[in-house]
């Protein structure tokens, strides 16, 4: 008989792929990326992964990990209500399952429910103070709320925990740019690029900072680089749009 642990492992090959992509992808555009890139065969795989988690839960109804991971799959296919239901179920069985709070926070963030998202991310850092992505996520919320000093504080916490966290550097650069602190913004963008030179988002964001400061030659170069790295993706599309704003 196949064990619930094996079924959980089988489904997690998808989870690993999903989370690796999400590290370099803005949360707000992540779902659209998946909806646009899934082929029929990948949708069949998703159905198979869900069936694995379903069977694992059938064999062990209080399996918090299985609910959490199935929630990620539902999120990836755009079924946010089922994702939230699974995260709630996982938390009911394991109230200290910090990854579930983190994943549920991402759903709330996508739904623009920033207060609910922040509550979940606060729970994550209470349960695991060394989990850098939660501080980065809190920074994103404060950025959306236009509380840039608080955003910078959270990004800095993430960077102290993980000095190689390129996305946190880039995000902090965006916050500095909003404060018209181009020097610090460029320092962070440059650091992000040194850590992830093939991440189109870093170039697009630095290009935007250059554009805001009327440094049009540098902006053009960065937008073109972003397009070359992501010619058919959402970041490339944004860079193409920003190119048109250069006088």
Give residue 41's pLDDT band: very low, low, confident or very high (50, 70, 90): low
Which of 37-41, 47-51, 231-235 has the highest mean predicted lDDT (pLDDT)?
A: 231-235
CB 91 within 8 A of CB 101: yes
Taking the model in full, what pTM does it have? 0.82
Which range (51-65, 104-118, 137-151, 182-196) has the least confidence?
Answer: 51-65
What is the C-alpha separation between 168 and 176, in angstroms, rounded?
12
CB 137 within 8 A of CB 155: no
Which pLDDT belongs to residue 198?
Answer: 96
Which range (11-15, 127-131, 195-199, 220-224) has the least confidence?
Answer: 11-15
Closest CA to 124 of 136, 114, 112: 136
Mean pLDDT, residues 159-187: 97
What is the C-alpha separation between 233 and 54, in angstroms, rounded?
33
Tokens representing residue 11 in the block: 């489904």
């Amino acid at each position: 008989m196949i064990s619930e642990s094996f079924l959980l492992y089988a489904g997690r090959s998808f989870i690993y792929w999903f989370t690796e992509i999400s590290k370099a992808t803005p949360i707000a555009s992540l779902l659209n990326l998946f909806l646009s890139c899934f082929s029929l065969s990948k949708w069949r795989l998703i159905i198979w992964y869900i069936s694995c988690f379903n069977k694992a839960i059938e064999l062990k109804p209080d399996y918090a990990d299985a609910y959490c991971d199935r929630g990620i799959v539902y999120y990836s296919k755009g079924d946010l209500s089922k994702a939230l239901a699974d995260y709630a179920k996982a938390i009911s069985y394991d109230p200290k399952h910090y990854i579930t709070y983190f994943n549920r926070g991402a759903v709330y963030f996508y739904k623009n429910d920033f207060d609910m998202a922040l509550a979940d991310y606060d729970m994550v850092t209470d349960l695991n103070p060394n989990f850098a992505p939660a501080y980065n996520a809190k920074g994103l919320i404060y950025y959306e709320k236009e509380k840039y000093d608080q955003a910078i504080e959270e990004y800095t916490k993430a960077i102290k925990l993980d000095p190689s966290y390129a996305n946190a550097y880039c995000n902090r650069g965006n916050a500095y740019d909003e404060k018209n602190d181009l020097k610090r913004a460029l320092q962070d963008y440059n650091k992000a690029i040194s850590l992830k030179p093939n991440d189109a988002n870093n170039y697009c964001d630095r290009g935007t900072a250059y554009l805001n400061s009327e440094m049009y030659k540098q902006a053009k170069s960065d937008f073109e680089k972003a397009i070359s790295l992501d010619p058919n993706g959402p970041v490339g599309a944004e860079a193409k749009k920003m190119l048109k704003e250069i006088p």
